[in-house]
Structure formats: C-alpha cells, structure tokens
Amino acid sequence: MKCSLKAPAKINLSLDVIAKRPDGYHEVEMIMTEVDLADRLDFVTRDDGEIVVEMSEGFIPQDTRNLAYQAAQLLKSKFQTSEGVHIYIKKNIPVAAGLAGGSSDAATVLRALNEIWGLSLSMEELAELGATIGSDVAFCVHGGTAKATGRGEKIEKLPAPPPCWVILAKPPIGVSTGDIYSQISVPNRSYSPASEIEDAIYAKDYARICNHLHNDLETVTLALYPEVRRIKKRMIESGVDAALMSGSGPTVFGLVKHENQVNRVYNALRGFCEHVYAVRLLTETC
C-alpha cells in the first residue's frame, strides 16, 4: 500500500508561559495555526515488519532520534502490528526553526499509519499518543488553528484566522527549545495575551490579531541571538503589518494583508537572510 501526505508548519500567534511545572516543563497557553509550507511524506508498506525512515536532507537523523520514526515505532509497539513501513520525508520546513517541522512529521505518521494499519484510533487518541513524543505533536495531529494548554498537549480547536500572507525568515542557526525555556522567567501579569488573540480570531479582526501577537520566549531568544533581532527589525521596516518570533525561534514571521506588499517584504529579506518564504495561512476552506 502507498500513500502521500503533507505535514504543514505552524506559527504561534501567542505563546504565554504560565508557570513552571513539577515535571520540569512549563505550563503554557498558546494559539497556533498552520501555514502553507509543508514537508511531504510518502508511505510504502513493508512485509518484513521493519520501520525505515529516509530523509531528503542527509544531516537529519533517520533512526530513533527522528520524531517520525518514534511515532511509527510507538504505534507498532503498542498495537503489535506485523507490518512494516518505509517513510520518505521530503523536507521543506527548516529544521530547528520554531515551526514544528519534526512534530508535524510525527503527527502525519500517526495519522497515516492509523489508516494504513487499520487501527481505527480517534484524533483525540492519536493526539494523546503524540503528546508522549513531543509537546507540539498533539496540535499537529488536529491541525488547523487551536489553543494549546498544559505543556501544549491539551488542544481546543478554534476557527481559522482571517486570511492573510505570512512571510517567514530563518537565520542560519538552530535554537534549542530546552535552552530557551531554561532561561525564561515566568511573567507576572493579570491578563492573558492568548485570550486577546482568541477573541480576535472569533471576531475575524485581522488588525486586532496584529496588535496582540505575543511570545514570552522572544525576549530570551532575541537577547541570545542578535541575528534574530536584526531579522525582526528588518521585517518591520520592510512594511509587514505585524511581526513575531515563532515558538522558541529562530524563525520570525510577518503578517501581510495585501498581496502587493508581499514582494516588497520578501525581496527586502532575501538580501538579508537565505531562508525566506512567502506563504498563506491554511484555513478550513483550503
């Protein structure tokens, strides 16, 4: 059996750190949404029971360190299926970029093998399994737009934001999510930035979304990596409606409402940063 699926990237419209948890993780409240930049995963079943992951980029691990491999192994071990699978991943999402590329690959493996191996698991069951692999996997299983709480594994689906263009720019560095979280101080505030974004999404208010983009991790990453700060500054100067770092970084995204702005922003960044993408938000109607 063969099939092919896309694994979309995500951006954080809001990432609020609420508290430090006893397990060492942080309690968070995030609003995440998918964008039209995606890896492609090709699946072919194997009769020998082996799991084989092949990457288009040779520097990415293809063994148990790979989240896609972990997802396949998790299902195979839990449900004792005798079938194997060959998974080829064409990487389009930058690695270690704050765009959940690895988590999206893992979520896509869970969804695909659920069908291929006839496991009949619900999306909620797949998301629960995915959360044991990585904090963003549960969101990526559901996809679309959602509020994530806990350490990111509790998902509440939201409507799609108003359509717009998204300019992504990633400097040639990787950022360790664990390192960034280890240096964050839990903010003391009486309001919820994520709730502001959630309300704006329900109101379909693009300007309000732009005005309330928020990421508690941004201050830490910008202090450690000046190139991320420079990219955000350049993006704002080039005319985006709003800009924010996604996840723990280092990718910065800018929102642009009108198509005639896209080329100006894209070209301004291309001369400044190698990895630049002009994409759309994914919505339920796409």
Residue 175, marked binder = no
Type of residue numbered 282: L
**In terms of C-beta density within 10 A (0-12 exposed, 13-18 middle, 19 or more buried), how is residue 60 classed?**
middle
Return the DSSP state at 239: T
Q: Is residue 115 located within the same domain as residue 237? A: no
In a domain, 6, yes or no: yes
Residue 98, marked binder = yes
Q: Is residue 12 located within the same domain as residue 60? A: yes
Q: Is residue 81 located within the same domain as residue 123? A: yes
From the list 119, 7, 21, 15, the residue with the least C-alpha distance to 56 is: 7
Helix, coil or strand: residue 53: strand
Residue 193, marked binder = no
Domain holding 147, by residue range, is 2-157
Q: What backbone phi and psi angles, to 5 degrees, belong to 157?
A: -65, 145
Give the pLDDT of residue 1: 84
Catalytic residues: 10, 136
Q: How far lies 235's CA from each of 111, 113, 207, 211, 216, in Å? A: 36, 40, 17, 16, 19
In a domain, 177, yes or no: yes
Q: Is residue 177 located within the same domain as residue 60? A: no
Domain boundary among 124, 157, 190: 157
- pLDDT tens per residue across span 173-222: 988 888 999 999 999 888 899 999 999 999 999 999 999 999 999 999 99
> Where in 150-211 does DSSP place strands (E)?
154-158, 165-170
Q: Is residue 187 located within the same domain as residue 135? A: no
- pLDDT tens per residue across span 15-58: 999 999 888 889 999 999 999 999 999 999 999 999 999 999 88
171 prior amide bond cis, ω within 30: no
Instruction: Count how many domains the chain has.
Output: 2
Residue 96 CB neighbours (<10 A): 17
Residue 97, marked binder = yes
In a domain, 286, yes or no: no
Residue 268, marked binder = no
In a domain, 285, yes or no: no
* Angle, vertex CA 170, rays to CA 31 and CA 206, nearest 5: 35
Residue in the block written with tokens 């990585």 = 134
In a domain, 143, yes or no: yes
CATH number of the domain residue 191 falls in? 3.30.70.890
H or E element, residue 109: helix 101-116
CATH number of the domain residue 76 falls in? 3.30.230.10
Q: Is residue 58 located within the same domain as residue 178? A: no
In a domain, 116, yes or no: yes
- pLDDT tens per residue across span 244-257: 999 999 999 999 99
pLDDT of 284 strictly over 60: no
CA atoms lying within 13 Å on the CB side of residue 150: 13
Average pLDDT, rounded, for the chain: 95
In a domain, 125, yes or no: yes
Domain boundary among 157, 189, 208: 157
Residue in the block written with tokens 């029971």 = 49
> Where in 159-274 does DSSP place strands (E)?
165-170, 214-215, 242-245, 252-256
Q: What DSSP letter does each residue of 10-24 carry, written as one string?
A: EEEEEEEEEEE-TTS
Q: Is residue 149 located within the same domain as residue 35? A: yes
Residue 95, marked binder = yes
Residue 94, marked binder = yes
Question: What is the Cα–Cα distance from 30 to 17, expressed in whole angstroms?
Answer: 9
Q: Is residue 23 located within the same domain as residue 133? A: yes
Residue 103, marked binder = yes
Q: Cα(first)–Cα(last) distance of the chain, in Å?
A: 27
Is the pTM value of this prediction over 0.85?
A: yes
In a domain, 241, yes or no: yes
Q: What backbone phi and psi angles, to 5 degrees, belong to 79?
A: -110, 5
pLDDT of 286 strictly over 80: no
Give the pLDDT of residue 273: 87
Q: Is residue 201 located within the same domain as residue 268? A: yes
Give the pLDDT of residue 285: 39
Residue 130, marked binder = no
Question: What is the Cα–Cα distance from 122 to 126, expressed in whole angstroms?
Answer: 6
Q: Is residue 18 located within the same domain as residue 145? A: yes
Q: Is residue 142 located within the same domain as residue 190? A: no
What is the share, in percent, of the chain residues with pLDDT greater than 90?
A: 87
- pLDDT tens per residue across span 127-141: 999 999 998 999 999
Domain boundary among 157, 174, 199: 157
Q: Is residue 18 located within the same domain as residue 143? A: yes
Helix, coil or strand: residue 182: helix
What is the share, in percent, of the chain residues with pLDDT greater than 70?
A: 99
